[in-house]
């Protein structure tokens, strides 16, 4: 990748969109780009991987392997997300992996020490980064609260509502189109259910006209109606 391509890549990232050419030259000294092929691990069970990653292109799967050797998905991230040591802590990724999922990915990576120095020198970048981390933690909190629901239908509907708000496009604030980057197995793991149950529930929601699911698009004709479906006995 040429220097000009790298410059455009990082400039297009919201956090660094306002930097000058001179600031980029300074930034270029403390970060590096990573390109990983589909299925390749960015890191795997690495407690000492003290890096922060910005996802510029592709999809990343974050997960861990449980005691039975089964893969458990924690998050599926898309372009614009941050992962790794995003809390700027150190040595706390033990057991976690990050894998290029469904396509090749491009990343911008910083060592934690270098990134902390950058934040101290650049208050504007620090401000935007703190907002991004706050939004990420808010999403974590919402998903955790959703997992506390005993009813699988409630967990699934709430997940779809969150997905519409976070990833969907809407012209009227009620009907949403969401680019479908998740399999039924992905959704099942993210809401603590099984693939078979998720498939059955999605088919029921489709039968009532509350969602329409294809390989490319998830359509929610009305988030109000989808939300109200939880109150129907």
State whether residue 97 is helix, strand or coil: strand
Mean pLDDT for all residues in the chain:
84
Instruction: Convert the pLDDT of each residue in 126-179 to its tens digit.
Output: 888 888 888 888 888 888 888 887 789 999 999 999 999 988 999 999 999 999
Look at residue 185 in the predicted model and tell me its pLDDT: 93
Q: Are 141 and 135 in contact (CB under 8 A)?
A: no
CATH topology of domain 149-231: Arc Repressor Mutant, subunit A (1.10.10)
Domain ranges of the chain: 3-144, 149-231
Residues 6+ apart with CB under 8 A from 164: 170, 176, 178, 220, 223
Are 45 and 96 in contact, with CB atoms under 8 Å apart? Answer: yes
Residue 91 or residue 215, greater confidence: 215
Pick one of 2.60.120.10, 1.10.3720.10, 3.40.50.620, 3.40.50.800 as the CATH number of 3-144: 2.60.120.10
Torsional sign, CA 188, 193, 195, 200: negative
At 42-72, the pLDDT tens digits run 998 765 678 889 898 899 999 988 888 888 8
Q: What confidence score (pLDDT) does residue 136 get? A: 86
Q: Which of 83-97, 98-112, 184-198 has the lowest mean pLDDT?
A: 83-97
Residue whose token pair is 């519409």: 164
- DSSP E strands: which ranges in the chain? 31-36, 41-44, 51-57, 60-65, 71-77, 82-84, 96-100, 105-111, 176-179, 212-213, 217-220
Q: List beta partners, residue 13.
A: none
In the numeric block, which tokens belong to residue 161? 């509502």
Q: Supply the pTM of this predicted model.
A: 0.78
**Does the pLDDT of residue 7 top 50, yes or no?**
no
Instruction: Give the mean model confidence (pLDDT) for residues 16-36.
Output: 68
């Amino acid at each position: 990748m040429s220097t000009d391509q790298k410059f455009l890549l990082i400039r297009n990232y919201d956090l660094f969109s306002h930097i000058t050419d001179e600031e980029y030259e300074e930034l270029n000294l403390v970060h590096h780009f990573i390109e990983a092929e589909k299925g390749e691990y960015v890191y795997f069970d690495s407690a000492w991987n003290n890096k922060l990653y910005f996802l510029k292109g592709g999809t990343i799967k974050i997960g861990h392997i449980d005691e039975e050797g089964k893969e458990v998905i924690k998050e599926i991230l898309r372009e614009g997300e941050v992962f790794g040591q995003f809390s700027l802590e150190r040595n706390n990724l033990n057991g976690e992996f990050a894998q290029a999922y469904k396509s090749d990915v491009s990343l911008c990576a910083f060592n934690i020490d270098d990134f902390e120095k950058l934040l101290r020198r650049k208050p504007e970048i620090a401000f935007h980064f703190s907002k991004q981390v706050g939004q990420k933690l808010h999403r974590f909190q919402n998903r955790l609260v959703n997992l506390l629901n005993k009813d699988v239908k409630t967990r699934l509907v709430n997940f779809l509502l969150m997905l519409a708000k976070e990833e969907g496009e809407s012209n009227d604030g009620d009907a949403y189109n969401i680019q479908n980057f998740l399999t039924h197995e992905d959704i099942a793991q993210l809401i603590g259910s099984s693939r078979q149950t998720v498939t059955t529930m999605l088919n029921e929601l489709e039968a009532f006209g509350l969602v329409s699911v294809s390989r490319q698009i998830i359509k929610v004709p009305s988030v109000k109606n989808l939300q109200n479906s939880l109150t129907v006995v």
